[in-house]
Chains A and B, each alone.
Chain A
């Protein structure tokens, strides 16, 4: 039997008890392109991290063989020596250095005391010619476009004598011309015998480029099939093909008048080629749960940041709350207006890790406990803390425990408690159940329904389609900063949302 270039067998990887990968096996021959497809959070990235050595040998179960011998890498460096190079979505180039310096960073030619500039210059020119990038080797990387930087990354990989190139969502921020150049180069590399693992949400690219398509869902390896035998709908079907079950305790609740009108939300980073949020308008009704779906980078989170006044770039938006126009320019003004947000990145934006659970919960409303001489009325504060810990079923040994010691689910409940203490009219939940176990998820859903029954209106951003469909009353779908769809939950399927979120011009 012929030896495959890459053979990953039964990879299992768990994070604190949760299986992110559950027995995934893939194989690849020289000069072949394998695409790995799956929803956000399905385990694709984890698989690539295992392969590239980010997760060292023995931190996962299963075996990896490369060119017939077992890989026992303890870092990315080890796999790079073997010829496995990963190019991440976020490029890892040093922007202040030149193309040449980046390509040879850590592998400089010449002696310690004297670099062989001439040889490096020659080699860089060759590499740039190979990736069809028409710039001089001493151009600064920061002067290049994102697509060109992508090509520099590939040139850098080629310099390391790459045998297997992993591209993680390489085209998500490229223009269509840039994409075409990139795809052509991958095809040429393929002809030169270099294998490639391609990760992308763009199914048209996947089908035109790959020999094989592997689909991963919830850490399970669903199937690997020849690309020639597949259609986009086949892939979508495999990506989402699970049944909705009792995970989502939908409860009947009344939906009232329009409470929030958002019009012409536009947000852009300085120097970006396209806005992250592109003229989005929508309405939210009282007591409604509005789901917002879309791929990572579709502008969902950025739209929420516009509503909460915390987008860190140029943005403009018109917000009308209960018929009155509100100027929201900061988190403070948002909270004052009655908009609270549970942020996507719990660690960075949610918790103050070394502070106690109780103090995290009351951080937004300290002014409610004002006593003499600016003191905090600790009696009143403890009362609220106890109430909300009980109401949200935050499992903690004591309110005085540092919040970092709690599980993700309980941290999240504490953050929600913090928001609820401000008595918001509108509660924004950005990925409320990310990294949370099933039990805590269920409790959070129950809580959401309890809240809307009290008249709170909820906007929920989520990458988990079953959750979006199972919980929302209405679903908005975003694609590349634009609002692409507005669906009622009845009759809504994951295929409909995926079609809307993935396909260009759908």
Chain B
């Protein structure tokens, strides 16, 4: 029985188990305060920014590259959004559009250097990390750009009324069930013996229950926070892109063996550049959420965020060697990191301990991963 479970599934189980452990531990330690609706709502909102960054980062790492510039890029894009909003009073729609396009351009710029000029991504994005921060400080003159308009605040601070929230989550659950069902049908048609059908159903069931549970909890506070809905939408789109599109397939192939993929006639360079472009757009979304939440564009915003995003991906089972990883895993990773932050803050654990624990968790997660792979 146990042998049938694939590595990827084992990883998933391990992650869910780790998450459960963290929840139970902090709930007991905080005498239930950790799972109060208010805290869950806060926790998820904290997850949103790193989560969105991790979505983009997962594609970069799966293609066997790295992006160290996302923290600075997020700061820069958030600064641009704040400047447009505060100084030039752009309408909110235009601010969002310009920021996302700017993110796309910065991402493609990174990608062009990596893919076509063959500069290692570590270096390209390290340069970006420095330069983007520099541009940000130059643009803002080193001062905080505030206060942002109430329209922009909606992006980061509002809640979706429960009626809309319920319908959205309901639809999601239905879609999930339909998806598993249609997949089963397709496999059946091609005579593929799927040994893990039960696992798939169990997975869908757990997901539906988790979604409904979350909805219940959030609804008993103020409703679904807008950033969470945005992240949820992006998770769906990104999962679709990763699993179902030819672009996603090629990204995994490039990470798995770039030479063989090139020999197969895939335009490796373009695909890589687009991966960075996609990542840039995700950074832009994260930047908008950040600026909206802070109500300001700060020259220090997003400092070190790239490390959180990378850590989330890695804890979520993404292989730095490329070719392996999932959006869902990265989100789980982000959630685990955010839970640790949140729980330890509630327990008044000193900041230095928080950093040490997070570092240890990162090391432990990868060590376990290496161990299980060797055992196979």
- Residues of A whose CB lies within 8 Å of any CB of B are 308, 310, 331-332, 334-336, 341, 343, 348-355, 359, 363-364, 366-367, 369-370, 373-376, 378-379, 382-383, 386, 398-400, 418, 422
Contacts and interface: CB of A to CB of B under 8 A. Distances in A.
B245 A331 contact: no
Nearest to B262: A331
B264 A363 contact: yes
A348 B260 contact: yes
Interface of B: 186, 189-193, 240-241, 244-247, 249-250, 252-253, 256-257, 259-267, 323-324
A137 B269 CA distance: 44
Contacts of B252: 355
A363 B251 CA distance: 11
B263 A310 contact: yes
5 contacts: A349-B263, A352-B261, A353-B256, A363-B261, A374-B246
Contacts of A332: 265-267
Contact of B264 (A364, A369, A374): A364
Contact of A366 (B190, B246, B257, B323): B246
Contact of B260 (A334, A349, A375, A383): A349
Nearest to A419: B264
A332 B270 CA distance: 12
B266 A363 contact: yes
A375 B264 CA distance: 19
Given A331-B265, A354-B324, A378-B186, A373 B260 contact: no
| B247, B249, B264 pick with most chain A CB within 10 angstroms | B264
A281 B190 CA distance: 47
Contacts of B247: 374
A350 B253 CA distance: 12
A267 B135 CA distance: 46
Contacts of B249: 359, 363, 366, 376
Given A334-B265, A355-B253, A376 B245 contact: yes
Nearest to A397: B193
A350 B263 CA distance: 7
Contacts of A400: 192
B178 to A, nearest CB: 15
A373 B244 CA distance: 10
B110 to A, nearest CB: 22
A88 to B, nearest CB: 23
Contacts of B262: 310, 331
Nearest to A422: B265
B264 A418 contact: yes
Given A354-B323, A422-B265, 5 more contacts: A310-B262, A363-B266, A374-B245, A376-B245, A383-B190
Given A332-B267, A355-B253, A375-B244, A382 B190 contact: yes
The 10 A-B pairs at the shortest CB distance, nearest first, are namely: A352-B256, A366-B246, A335-B265, A374-B245, A352-B257, A364-B264, A363-B264, A332-B265, A382-B190, A375-B244
Given A386-B190, A398-B193, A399-B192, A349 B256 contact: no
A425 to B, nearest CB: 15
B186 A352 contact: no
Contact of B263 (A341, A353, A355, A379): A341
B120 to A, nearest CB: 18
Contacts of B193: 398
A364 B266 CA distance: 7
Nearest to B250: A366
A375 B242 CA distance: 10
| B241, B250, B265 pick with most chain A CB within 10 angstroms | B265
Contacts of B267: 332
Nearest to B322: A354
A373 B245 contact: yes
Contacts of B257: 348, 351-353
Contacts of B323: 352, 354-355
B244 A376 contact: yes
A92 B68 CA distance: 35
Contacts of B246: 366-367, 369-370, 374, 376
